[in-house]
């Protein structure tokens, strides 16, 4: 017959084995869930227009930062002067074109463009933007 200490020790050993087993099962389940989530291509991102990588970056390039204050106002002004009748979707730093700033603009016809703006707030390019084949 087991002594009281032996029974407590055996009980603790069983509990530890159950905990380790449950942890392994939970880890496998969360790994499987993570893989499924990572392969998903439709994830809602607050404030994102659905075109291109989400603000804050994607796997394709460095993160971009939303513009604020006077810089945001100047970039918006330059972009709207270039794209008559457009409306600003967002303005942000640009990490992959060589211009420091960009404005995503929805044109009056519903198409979208990215207006690149330099440090002097001059427009350097207007590029079509949207899903492939559009």
Give, for 114, the enclosing helix (H) or strand (E). strand 112-117
Which pLDDT belongs to residue 6? 54
- Residue 126 to residue 105: CA distance in whole angstroms: 10
Does residue 35 lie within any of the structural domains? yes
**Number of domains comprising the chain:** 2
Q: Domain span at residue 114?
A: 69-129
Looking at the structure, tell me whether residues 40 and 88 fall in a common domain: no
Which pLDDT belongs to residue 13? 55
- Residue 128 to residue 82: CA distance in whole angstroms: 13
Looking at the structure, tell me whether residues 73 and 39 fall in a common domain: no
Which pLDDT belongs to residue 11? 57
Q: Which residues of 39-58 are buried (b: 16+ CB within 10 A; e: fewer)?
A: eeeeeeeeeeeeebebbeee
Question: Mind listing the pLDDT tens digit for each residue in 50-84?
Answer: 555 555 544 555 788 999 999 999 999 999 999 99
CATH code (residue 103): 3.30.505.20
Q: Residue ranges of the chain with pLDDT lower than 70?
A: 1-61, 130-134
Looking at the structure, tell me whether residues 24 and 73 fall in a common domain: no
| Residue of 91, 47, 46 lying closest to 71 (CA atoms) | 91
């Amino acid at each position: 017959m087991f002594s009281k200490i032996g029974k407590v020790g055996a009980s603790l050993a069983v509990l530890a084995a159950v905990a380790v087993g449950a942890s392994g099962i939970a880890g496998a389940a969360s790994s499987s869930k993570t893989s499924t989530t990572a392969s998903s291509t439709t994830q809602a991102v607050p404030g994102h227009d659905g075109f291109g990588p989400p603000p804050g970056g994607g796997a394709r390039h460095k993160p971009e930062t939303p513009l604020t204050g006077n810089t945001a106002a100047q970039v918006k002004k330059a972009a709207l002067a270039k794209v008559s009748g457009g409306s600003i979707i967002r303005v942000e730093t640009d990490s992959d074109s060589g211009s420091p700033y960009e404005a995503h603009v929805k044109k009056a016809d519903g198409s979208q463009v990215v207006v690149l703006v330099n440090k002097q707030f001059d427009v350097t390019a207007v590029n079509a933007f949207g899903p492939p084949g559009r």
